[in-house]
Amino acid sequence: MECYAGILWTPDGPIEGYVGVSGGIIVERGEGRPPSEPVATGFIAPGVVNCHTHLGDAGFDPGGKHTLEGLVAPPDGLKHWYLSTVDPGVQAARMAAYWADMQESGFSAAVDFREGGAEGCETLKKTVPGAIALGRPRSSDFDGEEVSRLLDVADGIGLSGLGDVPYPYAETLSDECRRRGKAFALHLSEAVREDVEAALSLEPDFVVHMSSATKGDIARCADAGVPIVVCPRSNAYFGLEPPVADMLSEGAHVALGTDNAMLSDGSLRGEVSALAALLAKQGRDPSESLAVAFEGWKKILYDKRKIGGRIGDKADFTVFPSGKGTLPLDAMRGKDRIRIRGTG
């Protein structure tokens, strides 16, 4: 048995403890001192879900500085030019490479907003089998056949925004997702404030960003029990800042995502560090970023994925080495990590 010891993340917060792994399976886990000499010590973080990605634009270098509208807004944003012109084989290889790096950084899975209709979701599922694909239809008007084909492949629908499609179309998509037992989510109030009531009437499973939302909008999401996924580094690229302190003080459920692959290295450490810095700036305890990263995703996914570390589970955790007594967040700021993943 290989033993890993140090500060262990648990749903109730960090504890001093250890994890024993044999043949890629967690065979022991406990509090206090490890039963044998550990092979590595540090902050032991469970594998977590990256709650918002766009893997399709991995490897695309947009060059220079762009506005949100100019870079990502459909249909004319620069990234949509890339998506419609890139060689599919090249794109798949770039997505797979990015996915491998993202998993190596400490993520186990990702909830991806996928462009390109049913075909886009098919490519995603083939290339990165662990991804949860939230696709979007290509037609500008509701096409029952297209939506049905999309939902045969996708795990749900992730709309680019409220203004993306006519509102009745968005309502029909939300209804279809519910009827088929699929997820429905959307970007909301990223660069400009949008109508939170209109968004909540669509009964989304979660919303992404809320960087331009008011405290009142955030309170409405909290009341409605709709989680908010924040992507601090992507927002920073566009000069935006998600009001995470307000989200936490309003009792909203907050989860973490890395957003566009072309703008982010998709690393767990990078996004947690950015969130920690943001929380400190907004007057909160930076270590609250850990609960957002390690617990937030659980309200986004309902399929009880075996991620983390119960005895008998496949090992899936990351050790961020640290000196004795170092806090988890400090360990995550270091350079090294040891990723432990059981295979088979």
Residues of this chain that interact with Zn ion (CB under 5 A) are 259
- Quote the least distance from Cβ 219 to Zn ion, whole Å: 23
Closest separation between CB of residue 313 and Zn ion, Å? Answer: 30
Of the pair 26, 185, the CB lying nearest Zn ion is at 185
Half-sphere exposure of 301 (CA within 13 A, CB side): 27
- Min dist. Cβ of residue 115 to Zn ion (A): 10
* Residue closer to Zn ion (CB basis): 259 or 316: 259
Closer to Zn ion by CB, 106 or 161: give it: 161
User: In the bound complex, what is the minimum distance in angstroms from residue 87's beta carbon to Zn ion?
Assistant: 24
3-state secondary structure 219-274: HHHHHHCCCEEECHHHHHHCCCCCCHHHHHHCCCCEEECCEECCCCCCCHHHHHHH
For the CB of residue 226, give the shortest distance to Zn ion in the complex, in Å.
16
Name the residue number minimizing CB distance to Zn ion.
259
Smallest distance from Zn ion to CB 113, Å: 5
Interatomic CA distance for residues 342 and 131, integer angstroms:
18
C-beta of 82: minimal distance to Zn ion in Å?
15
State in angstroms the smallest separation of the CB of 114 from Zn ion. Answer: 11
